[in-house]
Amino acid sequence: MNQTNIFKLIQAIEQMNNDNIMRFTKAFPYPIGISPILVLSELRMKGPQKQVELAETVGYTKGAMTNIANKLVDLGLAERLYDENDRRTIQLKITAAGDQALTEAQRIGQDVFTQLFEVLNEEEINQYLRIQEKLVKGIQDRKNQN
């Protein structure tokens, strides 16, 4: 494996990711980043959840999850649900506004990636897809070994 090419690849990936994030952030009308959007996505897919569970699922610390939850609640994109029998049990739930924000985030994300990949022809897209699938399989295989 050629180290120079690996470092060039890493730089190209970082540059591409940074540019995509900046383009997304500029187009997205809500003052939140990718982390809260991932939380909204989890809430849409799985329904109300405890913040501790969300933190584990998305890979954030409890403190980071608290900050994300506070921001989402403050913006009206999520709400806290309290258990009447145990006030210590609090779940986070996506609101209609949060669902709308997530839909908008997905649309903008799709537009950003469509523009990114439009410079590739069909053969290059298929080749890139095979490479990505191989990388994802490698990640999954390593997870399964642990």
49 φ/ψ angles, rounded to the nearest 5 degrees: -145, 155
Instruction: Summarize pLDDT for 100-138 with one digit per residue, the tens.
Output: 999 999 999 999 999 999 999 999 999 999 999 999 999
pTM above 0.85, yes or no: no
What are the tens digits of pLDDT across the range 35-86?
Answer: 999 999 999 999 999 999 999 999 999 999 999 999 999 999 999 998 788 7
Task: Check if the beta carbon of residue 116 is closer than 8 Å to that of residue 100.
Answer: no
DSSP for the chain reads: --HHHHHHHHHHHHHHHHHHHHHHHHH--SS--HHHHHHHHHHHHH-SEEHHHHHHHHT--HHHHHHHHHHHHHTTSEEEEE-SS-TT-EEEEE-HHHHHHHHHHHHHHHHHHHHHHTTS-HHHHHHHHHHHHHHHHHHHHHHHH-
Q: Across the beta sheet with 78-82, what order do the strands follow?
A: 49-50, 90-94, 78-82
CA 37 to CA 67: how far, in whole Å? 13
